[in-house]
Amino acid sequence: MKNIVVVGSQWGDEGKGKIVDWLSEQADVVVRFQGGHNAGHTLVIDGITYKLRLLPSGIVRKNKISIIGNGVVVDPWALLNEIDEIKSKGVQVHVDNFIISESANLILPFHREMDEIREDTAGKGKIGTTRRGIGPAYEDKVGRRSIRVMDLRSEKNLDQRLEAVLLHHNAIRKGLGKKIFEKNQLKKDLLKIAPDILKFSQPVWLRIDEFKRQKKKILFEGAQGILLDVDHGTYPFVTSSNTVASSAATGSGCGPNSINYVLGITKAYTTRVGEGPFPTELKDSIGEILGTKGKEFGTVTSRKRRCGWFDGVLVRQTIKISGIDGIALTKLDVLDELDEIKMCVQYDLDGKKIDYLPAAVEDQLKIKPIYKSFPGWKTSTNGIKNIDELPENAKNYIYAVEDFIGSKISSISTSPERDDTILVENPFET
């Protein structure tokens, strides 16, 4: 049985929710392996809209097992609220279809506060985080002082762990002139919700090994995009985890030989939320058209996304970095009304042409895109399900993208509806 990793090949918001939902119908197990509730997936099924932040997309389907892996940072209150929210829409969430890794690290209130303090005092140097405590929680994980799901089992252990982490945070808070954080009320609040979290807790690595032996199809679901990867993205304007496909192995506790196919979700243009370099950004009427027609507002924060032309140089680079086998091209229909469509094929850095994104942020901010232009098709592609029915100019654009990035386009999305998809290749069957 094939196991698939789904990752975003740009800065996130590529439309992973719809593709993951379609794939999860074929999968037996869906695993989230990194990130937190800073990234959202919007699913539209039978006219009902589900906005997921922590829960894997498979949760909305019957007879699927959904897993939050050890690589995810979990705000326990946000998770319980999300479970209540989705239950109100008729979705069942119980111990037989939902598992949380006992090794997952928790996001606590002082993480959220630290996130806000840093953003508010950073001025022009702010990252543009979602202010949900993701970065500070990952810092504590790496610093070996964080609270994990398993720590909720023992009041004595939880007390000791909180003492250690607050020793660190309160020293920083005091230095910034902020009120120190009291331990006892937080411990009380955590112990109150502990049974609701612990009932889902299991050793995920063991369960995945079991599912592999049972030859179940496993879908690993990434959050955000490769260009936000802490190692390979536009650092420092990145998230605090590794978003590349190989993180599916470390973030869930299985070897890289568990991954058989990497699917990169790729928008037919480019968007970005928050601060940081964006070579093909359009601050004109075309950018407004893309944002309006594409409904480019964040699932989690409702922030307006920055919009620009498709950057073939960046996507070609992320394909190599993440070992992407095939591309799911989304939001093609957003380009329907444009007279001309452009794709970035090179950069100009101080008069020198380069064909990759330089690592230094100073260079990333200076580069200028070099475009190749294509005539628009000026007719609707909305809802088309067969590639032969696409306008000729749309097909020409798609084939040019495929040729430039060096990866097969396995599907093309022509509307937010899950069935409005042109399937070229099914990753589970290749």
Residues classed as catalytic: 13, 41
At residue 392, what are phi and psi to the nearest 5 degrees? Answer: -60, -40
Helices (H), 5-150: 16-24, 76-87, 109-122, 134-142
By the 8 A CB rule, do 15 and 277 touch? no
Q: Give me the half-sphere count of Cα atoms (radius 13 Å) on the Cβ side of residue 53.
A: 24
Asked if residue 236 has a cis previous peptide bond (ω within 30° of 0), the answer is: yes
* Separation of alpha carbons 274 and 239, rounded Å: 11
Tokens, residue 160: 């000791």
By the 8 A CB rule, do 12 and 228 touch? yes
User: Cα–chain-centroid distance for residue 99?
Assistant: 19
Q: Give me the half-sphere count of Cα atoms (radius 13 Å) on the Cβ side of residue 82.
A: 22
* Separation of alpha carbons 12 and 263, rounded Å: 14
DSSP β-bridge partners for residue 220? 5, 31
In angstroms, the Cα distances linking 29 to 15, 93, 128, 369 are 20, 14, 33, 41
In a 10 Å sphere around its CB, with 0-12 CB exposed, 13-18 middle and 19+ buried, how is residue 420 labelled? middle
